[in-house]
Chains A and B, each alone.
Chain A
Amino acid sequence: MLPTPDTSHVPYARVYEPAEDSFLLLDTLSAASETGFLASRFSSSRTKVAPPPLVLEVGPGSGVVLAFLTAHAATIFGTRDILTLGVDVNRFACVATRLTVSKAVEESASTAGSFLGAVQGDLVGPVRSGAVDVLVFNPPYVPTDELPVPPAGIAEKSKTTFEEDSHLLALSYAGGRDGMETTDRLIAALPDTLSERGCAYLLLCAGNRPEEVKQRIRDFGPQWRAETVGTSGKTAGWEKLQIVRIWREPVEGDTAV
């Protein structure tokens, strides 16, 4: 078991506290199936040179997942040569992520990759097209009647009211219709965001209708794959939470990878 990053400094009144979903991402991304997949794609071997992947976490919140990936790069990606970046709509989450990552990297200096920083933004809005090799998203997936609007104003202040804190937290979990309104925007942006060798890890709950979500991604085209690679919380035959890996495979007769 790789150590879980310390998040004791994170202000949980306004930043999402690591929970079952976060830990499912840690378990899945460090499982042999995924470290094998990631190393085969992103670590160099005698027969191929793989430039360092850009690992982007969208909505890192406390930063626990991004810190885990950065600190344990050598174990998870088979190489320390990775670059990591976080984009969060909540400025407090950006500050928290930066500290969580730097603490974890200090603890595991011999296996750690390079953290670029955390920027405040809406999903992949600030990221250059085709730049992302590994995207991780633990979305606001809870079905809710209303979708909270990202508040450009709130996050600019260092002091917040209780209502503003509640709004920031709502942004981290409230997903609107089917809990999919924000995730659907991210999925729509994937073809333009991921590099040719890129892949994405997306967390879904049962209420998100994961089988339909995976089918929608496969419908992007014959290269696209979407498979469940981690699950937790089985209740009455339904997986409460699952991680879907999304990637492209070259298809026969197609020279592009």
Chain B
Amino acid sequence: MKVLTLNFLSCAVKTCKSSSDSFPLHPKEAELAKDDVEINPQLLVNVLPRIDWAALRTTSTELGFPTLPDQPPTAEELEADEKMLQELHTLLMEMQIVEGKLVCGHCGHEYAIREGIANFLLPSHLV
């Protein structure tokens, strides 16, 4: 699954949903792979307001990517910054998490990712 997916997932445990610590989930021992995707600058510019920037910043740092600025670039800034476009394209559209775990910062539950598929089914005591 694409790294961008982490911007839309949270811990599946009901009592974690209301806690800000359950988002974003924290990748652990993550193995990454890179798809070759043609860059679409317009999509990147459009997707910016759709993204939780602080969460993406956390994910990017935890996966060892270049540290993103504190604030998201404006559409004009991004359009004019080829390096930033390329970096965001790689991070959002090309990077896949293949193996590893996703850890909830609230309850500590670990969701395994195997062959690119994360398993969010909960053991019966957590449902």
Interface residues of A (CB under 8 A from B): 44, 49, 51-52, 54, 80-81, 83, 85, 87, 89, 91, 94-95, 98, 114-122, 125-129, 131, 150, 152, 155-156, 192
Contact A81 B46 (CB under 8 A): yes
> Contact check: which of B10, B93, B111 meets A127 at CB < 8 Å?
B10
A119 to B96 alpha-carbon distance, docked (Å)? 13
Beyond A85-B5, A114-B93, is A120–B43 a contact (Cβ under 8 Å)?
no
A120–B120 alpha-carbon span in the complex (Å): 6
B47 within 8 A of A: yes
> Known: A116-B4, A117-B1. Contact between A122 and B121, CB under 8 A?
yes
Other 12 A-B pairs with CB < 8 A, given A118-B117, A156-B119: A49-B46, A80-B40, A91-B119, A94-B117, A116-B1, A116-B8, A117-B116, A119-B119, A121-B121, A125-B120, A126-B10, A126-B118
**A51 touches which of B5, B7, B40, B47 (Cβ 8 Å):** B47
28 A-B contacts (beta carbon < 8 Å): A51-B47, A51-B48, A52-B50, A54-B50, A80-B40, A80-B43, A81-B43, A83-B47, A83-B50, A98-B116, A98-B117, A115-B2, A116-B5, A117-B1, A117-B2, A117-B96, A119-B9, A119-B120, A120-B118, A120-B121, A122-B12, A125-B12, A125-B122, A127-B8, A152-B119, A152-B123, A156-B119, A192-B17
Task: Name the A residues within 8 Å of B124 (CB-CB).
Answer: 152
Cβ of B74 within 8 Å of any chain A Cβ, yes or no, is no
Classify chain B's interface size: 20 to 34
The residue of chain A having its C-beta at the shortest distance from the C-beta of B127 within the complex is: A122
When chains A and B are docked, how far (Å) is the Cα of A128 from the Cα of B117? 17
Is chain A's binding surface mostly helix, strand, loop or mixed? mixed
A113 to B21, CA, bound (A): 31
Contacting pair A52 B120 (CB below 8 A): no
* A81 and B121 form a contact (CB under 8 A): no
Q: Chain B: which residue is nearest A79 at the CB level?
A: B46
Establish whether residues B1 and A122, one from each chain, have CB atoms under 8 Å apart when the complex forms: no
Q: Which 5 A-B pairs have CB atoms at the shortest separation, nearest pair first? A: A117-B1, A121-B120, A126-B120, A125-B12, A51-B50
Which residues of B have CB within 8 Å of A126? 9-10, 12, 111, 118, 120
Say what secondary structure dominates the interface of chain B: mixed
How many angstroms from the CA of A121 to the CA of B17 in the assembled complex? 15
Q: A131 to B17: give the CA distance in the assembly, Å.
A: 13
Q: Assess whether B61 is interfacial by the CB under 8 Å rule.
A: no
- With a cutoff of 8 Å between Cβ atoms, the chain B residues found around residue A87 in the complex are 120
Contact B121 A150 (CB under 8 A): yes
User: For the complex, what is the distance from the CA of A116 to the CA of B4, rounded to whole Å?
Assistant: 7
- Nearest-neighbour CB distance to chain A for B8, whole angstroms, equals 5
Q: Which residue of B lies closest to A195 (CB)?
A: B50
Q: Are A51 and B46 in contact (CB under 8 A)?
A: yes
Using CB atoms, name the residue of chain A closest to B121: A152
Interface positions, chain B 30-47, Cβ under 8 Å from A, are: 40, 42-43, 46-47
CB–CB B10/A83 < 8 A: no
Partner of B2, one of A116, A122, A127, A152: A116
